[in-house]
A and B are shown apart, each in its own frame.
Chain A
Amino acid sequence: MFRRIRPILTKEFRQIRRDKRSLGVLLVLPAFLIFLIGYALNFDVKHAPLAVFDQDKKQASRELIQAFINNEYFSYRHTVGQDREIATLLGEGKALIAIVIPPGFSRELLAGRDASVQVLVDGSNANTATAVLGYTSAVLQSFSSKLTMRTMQRVGRELYLPLDFRPKVWYNPELVSAKFLVPGLIGFILMISGVVSTSLSVVKENERGTMEQIMVSPLSTRQVIIGKTIPYLIIGLLGSVLVLLVGFFLFDIVIRGNLFWLYVGIGLFLLAALGQGVLISTIAQTQQVAFILSVFSSLLPTFLLSGFVFPIRSMPIILQILSNVAPAKFFLIVVRSVILKGAGPGAFWDQLVFLAIFALLTLGISILRLRKRIE
């Protein structure tokens, strides 16, 4: 069996080596994309431009403004003198949030009465708006409790808070979105480069007529498919090492779990991706069709349905079922468990089984299709 596969392996490696472009796509592009997308895809909101309309201009209002300035989530950009200006600033995107402090704010507070602050947020990007509102409410909350505390002290009593809120976030304590995204990105990128690379392999030989030449030889279709998959698997694994290195050096992604199990996952996932590519290759009539099919069939499901960005749990049930067509869905669970949580195979063995099934199915169908295809 292996003696007959070897010439195919040698040949495929030689062809890949000579084709500098595909070698680049397989090895360097994944690492480059991690770098690019890792920085671009960032859901953390920091330094939200802030506009303040302070109609009070007393001590309490200045303290409140100071509370907003004293953290990295806001940056104080505009001092506003009129209501109209706020509309302009928010409209032009020069401010994400505006705070209006009414006249008499400090007086009311000193008198021990309720004072109100108006907060206006640009809601055109719901994600950012939610984050900014969250930060704002936290700032106002702590400002309020500080005031209460002061009042109590003045009357000689201690402040009593019944609940002591001490959150401790596991796995990603700083809640940096890169930590969540980069492992997903590994799946996203390996999927695309895997599918695209093999999708051309069979079509190209069909177009050249070399596939026919191989089919009249004693090689079986199984040997041909296996021989064509292994080189891309090896190169894909090398590419994934680069990706992990970039993740480590640029995004501080440390692999907490077992490297062996991570690579079992990556290997099976690559096989699934390569299988999907080979399958496309046995169906498409021309290289162009194969390329388009491979990009769409890998990019869209992986981006939308794998849980890479959008949590599967909050999808309608039909999409949740449909999400099973994306092998990246299973892989992301594995890769996040191993990299972020340091979990062992007990947490994701079922995902590995799904990946293996996906790979076996696509490669198996490819072998059958190739036999049919020649006719």
Chain B
Amino acid sequence: MSPSAIEVKNLTKRFGSFTAVDHISFTVERGDVFGFLGANGAGKSTTIRMLCGLLESSEGTASVGGYDINSESERIKQNIGYMSQKFSLYEDLTVQENIRFFGGVYGLGNDELQKRMSWVIEMAGLKGREKSLTKELAGGWKQRLALGCAVLHKPKIVFLDEPTGGVDPISRRNFWELIGQLSQEGVTVLVTTHFLDEAEYCNNIIFINAGKLIANGSPKTLKSRHITFPIMEVECTKAVEAMEVLQTQPWVQELSIFGTNLHVGVNEELSGRKQIINILSGRNIPVKRIDKIMPSLEDVFLHLLENDARERRN
């Protein structure tokens, strides 16, 4: 067995002339919570589907739990858990019946199934609702039940494809706590998301854009490696107008808008602060507040996307 949980080398998937995943390589260590980030259509799901044996790769190799994805996909299926953004449960079955079904599919014996069933019900907070039809459950419960069904057979590796879509913030937070627990039990979790705040919970992250891997590392190293300049958060009344003004300034490294706030990457903190205030007040845009902030992953991601777009243009 290879020491890493997942090893991907030059994995590529083409659909006709369209390359959905373009020579991606990365490694996921055992027990990692591995974040797989990218915009919609960047190739995240396609990669996961190849790793789960749902899709054959066009090129490259990968191993999951030591098994080759193309030649040993049947072995992989027994050893992984998979949950998609659809929370694929049978809506017309009850909570219990869903658990029994997936337990049966993975060949769990009766005793084991009973144990796992009470674990899932406990974990998902569904005590007393065992006999409710799944369609009557709210999003957060469905999501946790789906996770429970995906890990009934105690897989060592779990793939979660956009598991937090369409769920309220509190449920999202609870869900990440569950992922943390799984990881502490030694389970490797590969999770895709486009919520960048969620990526902060991951030990390791890869960014992909248009099928290509554009960055790889822990949240901390990604921030320090890619954001080498101070970022100022500027609160002002006319954010959009301010953005237009700042866009043309040569000393602005990076510029993005978050609601009514602007994140402005500058060369140096003190001079940058002055420059921003000067130019904005010169245009009659009063600055309410300006602070140096720790770059978020969102800043990193936007920076990387911009670089990537620039490179593609050249």
- Chain A residues close to B by CB (< 8 Å): 3-4, 6-8, 10-11, 14-15, 18-19, 208-210, 212-219, 374-375
Is the CB–CB distance between B91 and A213 below 8 Å? no
Which residues of B are found within 8 Å of A19, using beta-carbon distances? 92
Is the CB–CB distance between A216 and B82 below 8 Å? yes
Which residues of A are found within 8 Å of B74, using beta-carbon distances? 218
Q: What are 22 A-B interface contacts by the 8 Å CB criterion?
A: A7-B100, A10-B101, A10-B104, A11-B90, A14-B97, A18-B92, A19-B92, A208-B90, A208-B91, A209-B87, A209-B88, A210-B89, A210-B90, A212-B84, A212-B88, A213-B102, A214-B105, A216-B54, A218-B74, A218-B107, A374-B54, A374-B55
Whether A15 contacts B106 in the complex (CB less than 8 A), given A7-B100, A216-B77, A375-B55, comes out as no
Is the CB–CB distance between A375 and B56 below 8 Å? yes
Is the CB–CB distance between B54 and A4 below 8 Å? no
Which residues of B are found within 8 Å of A210, using beta-carbon distances? 88-90
Question: Does B290 sit within 8 A of A, measured CB to CB?
Answer: no
Is the CB–CB distance between B77 and A217 below 8 Å? yes
Which residues of B are found within 8 Å of A217, using beta-carbon distances? 77, 102, 105-106
8 Å CB interface, B71-112 against A: 74, 77-78, 80, 82, 84, 86-93, 97, 100-107
Q: Chain A nearest CB: distance from B204 CB in Å? A: 23
- Among B53, B92, B100, point to the contact of A15 (Cβ < 8 A): B92
Is the CB–CB distance between B88 and A213 below 8 Å? yes
Is the CB–CB distance between B86 and A4 below 8 Å? no
Which residues of A are found within 8 Å of B62, using beta-carbon distances? none
Is the CB–CB distance between A7 and B101 below 8 Å? yes
Whether A375 contacts B97 in the complex (CB less than 8 A), given A18-B92, A213-B82, A218-B78, comes out as no
Whether A216 contacts B86 in the complex (CB less than 8 A), given A6-B104, A7-B105, comes out as no
Q: Chain B nearest CB: distance from A25 CB in Å? A: 16
Which residues of B are found within 8 Å of A219, using beta-carbon distances? 105
Q: Chain B nearest CB: distance from A63 CB in Å? A: 73
Give the residue among A8, A217, A219 with the most B Cβ atoms within 10 A: A217
Say what secondary structure dominates the interface of chain B: loop
- Chain B residues close to A by CB (< 8 Å): 52-56, 74, 77-78, 80, 82, 84, 86-93, 97, 100-107
Whether A15 contacts B52 in the complex (CB less than 8 A), given A213-B82, A217-B105, comes out as no
Give the residue among A18, A212, A219 with the most B Cβ atoms within 10 A: A212
Which residues of A are found within 8 Å of B104, using beta-carbon distances? 4, 6-7, 10
For the A-B complex with A7-B102, A215-B54, A375-B55 known, give 18 more contacts whose Cβ atoms are closer than 8 Å: A3-B107, A4-B105, A6-B104, A7-B103, A8-B105, A14-B93, A15-B90, A208-B86, A209-B86, A210-B90, A212-B86, A213-B84, A216-B54, A216-B80, A217-B105, A218-B106, A218-B107, A375-B54
Distance of A218 Cα from B90 Cα, bound (Å): 18
Give the residue among A3, A218, A219, A374 with the most B Cβ atoms within 10 A: A218
Which residues of B are found within 8 Å of A212, using beta-carbon distances? 54, 84, 86, 88
- Among B52, B82, B97, point to the contact of A11 (Cβ < 8 A): B97
Q: Chain A nearest CB: distance from B113 CB in Å? A: 10
Q: Which residue of B lies closest to A207 (CB)?
A: B86
Q: Chain A nearest CB: distance from B163 CB in Å? A: 13
Q: Chain A nearest CB: distance from B50 CB in Å? A: 10
Distance of A218 Cα from B52 Cα, bound (Å): 11
Distance of A4 Cα from B89 Cα, bound (Å): 18
Question: 6 tightest CB-CB pairs across the interface, nearest first?
Answer: A7-B104, A209-B86, A213-B88, A209-B88, A216-B82, A210-B88
Is the CB–CB distance between B84 and A11 below 8 Å? no
Which residues of A are found within 8 Å of B92, using beta-carbon distances? 14-15, 18-19
Is the CB–CB distance between B54 and A208 below 8 Å? no
